[in-house]
């Protein structure tokens, strides 16, 4: 079936007595014309890549701009020696969200979920929970199938692109996907998953995309943290019985409408918000100067190599004569 409506997925789930993850699995089998085993192994590969990326994090790495790096380690070191306000699990979520965002900025391997700029949200909530609760890997894969349903519906009805819909479309979508996965892992019903998604999206509705110097670093990495924390709150509310008064599909449609109405300055152009603050402009100017120096050195180096590789024209002319 087409994954373009959470209500349609919910109705089908209740009619056929199937979990959302199984509906998505069957849809993947049909669309890609693969076996159940092949679809399952593809998802397993994705999950393990996410875990491996988290394990490969190094607090010593810095992005080329120097704006990002090491914050994930700072939070991790802090909660090892201090009592975190939100407790150990919250500290682990914050640390993981920062670490994965830094991995992306430092050109390390990540899983875009649904985008590179929002890659820290899902692993931030799923990996610490998986390790704490010792959840079987197969159940984690089921949760990932649930996130695929949510991401597909948002992409169909709104957008998952910051350039099209602002940061609400990236971190907001990732937060909704993570909220749905957490609700499923806590034993929530299909209806509660839909409420969690609606609550998560509503909480970040209108979030702008204003990357400093046009880089997916500031404020992008730290916004992954708020996306993760929002997912936890939305999932807990949904499982507790809190419902969204606006149906989930309508919430997602509103996200799309808000995204289309956002001025271009707030859609990944680095022409508004934090990007045009005095400090933001100074960073952009510094980066532009750095790029010019790099290009100059590259051009000079290329010319030197070209001259060294070519035979002397005078000698060639004398020889030919």
In this structure, is residue 169 part of a structural domain? yes
User: What are the tens digits of pLDDT across the range 137-166?
Assistant: 999 999 999 999 999 999 999 999 999 999
Are 249 and 290 part of one and the same domain?
A: no
In this structure, is residue 1 part of a structural domain? no
Are 120 and 227 part of one and the same domain?
A: yes
In this structure, is residue 160 part of a structural domain? yes
* DSSP-assigned letter for residue 187: T
Percentage of the chain exceeding pLDDT 90: 89
pLDDT bin (cut points 50, 70, 90) of residue 290 is: confident
What does pTM read for this prediction?
0.91
Are 92 and 234 part of one and the same domain?
A: yes
Are 26 and 91 part of one and the same domain?
A: yes
- Written as six digits, the tokens of 259 are 């995204």
Question: How many domains does the chain divide into?
Answer: 2
Instruction: Report the pLDDT value the prediction gives residue 42, as an integer from 0 to 100.
Output: 98
In this structure, is residue 296 part of a structural domain? yes
Exposed, middle or buried by CB within 10 Å (0-12, 13-18, 19+), for 4?
Answer: middle
| Backbone φ, ψ for residue 312 (5° rounding) | -65, 130
In this structure, is residue 231 part of a structural domain? yes
What value does the mean pLDDT take over residues 70-99? 97
Q: The domain containing residue 312 runs over which residues?
A: 280-320
Are 165 and 289 part of one and the same domain?
A: no
pLDDT bin (cut points 50, 70, 90) of residue 319 is: very low
Of 258, 276, 294, the one marking the end of a domain is 276
Contacting residues for 194 by C-beta, under 8 A, at least 6 apart: 6, 7, 10, 244, 248
In this structure, is residue 90 part of a structural domain? yes
Are 230 and 244 part of one and the same domain?
A: yes
In this structure, is residue 229 part of a structural domain? yes
Residue tagged 């940061």 (tokens): 167
In this structure, is residue 82 part of a structural domain? yes
Are 214 and 309 part of one and the same domain?
A: no
End-to-end CA distance of the chain: 77
Are 242 and 93 part of one and the same domain?
A: yes
Are 202 and 302 part of one and the same domain?
A: no
Are 204 and 182 part of one and the same domain?
A: yes
H-helix segments, the chain? 6-16, 20-32, 36-55, 71-81, 87-105, 121-133, 137-157, 162-165, 171-185, 190-203, 220-240, 248-261, 278-309, 313-320
Q: Do 227 and 168 form a contact (C-beta atoms < 8 A)? A: no
Are 199 and 236 part of one and the same domain?
A: yes
Judged against a pLDDT cut of 60, whether residue 318 lies above it is answered with no
pLDDT bin (cut points 50, 70, 90) of residue 1 is: confident
Are 295 and 185 part of one and the same domain?
A: no
């Amino acid at each position: 079936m087409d994954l373009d409506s959470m209500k349609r997925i919910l109705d089908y789930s209740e009619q056929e007595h199937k979990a959302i993850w199984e509906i998505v699995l069957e849809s993947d089998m049909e669309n890609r014309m693969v076996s159940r085993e092949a679809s399952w192994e593809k998802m397993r590969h994705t999950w393990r890549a996410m875990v491996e990326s988290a394990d490969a994090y190094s607090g010593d790495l810095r992005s080329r701009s120097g704006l990002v790096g090491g914050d994930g380690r700072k939070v991790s070191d802090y909660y090892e020696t201090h009592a975190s306000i939100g407790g150990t699990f919250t500290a682990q979520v914050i640390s993981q969200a920062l670490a994965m965002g830094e991995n992306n900025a430092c050109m390390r391997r990540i899983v875009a979920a649904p985008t590179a700029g929002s890659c820290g949200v899902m692993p931030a909530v799923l990996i610490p929970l998986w390790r704490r609760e010792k959840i079987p890997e197969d159940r984690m894969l089921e949760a990932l199938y649930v996130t695929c349903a949510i991401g597909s519906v948002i992409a169909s009805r709104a957008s998952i692109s910051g350039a099209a819909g602002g940061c609400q479309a990236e971190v907001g979508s990732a937060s909704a996907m993570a909220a749905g996965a957490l609700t499923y892992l806590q034993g929530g019903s299909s209806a509660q998953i839909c409420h969690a998604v609606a609550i998560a999206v509503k909480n970040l509705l209108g979030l702008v995309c204003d990357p400093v110097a046009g880089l997916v670093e500031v404020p992008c990495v730290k916004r992954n943290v708020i996306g993760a924390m929002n997912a936890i709150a939305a999932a807990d509310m949904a499982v507790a019985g809190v419902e969204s008064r606006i149906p989930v599909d309508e919430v997602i449609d509103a996200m799309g409408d808000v995204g289309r109405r956002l001025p271009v300055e707030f859609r990944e152009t680095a022409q508004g918000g934090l990007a045009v603050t005095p400090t933001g402009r100074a960073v952009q100017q510094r980066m532009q100067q750095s790029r010019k120096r790099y290009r100059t050195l590259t051009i000079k180096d290329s010319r030197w190599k070209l001259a060294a590789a070519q035979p002397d024209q005078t000698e060639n002319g004398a020889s030919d004569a």
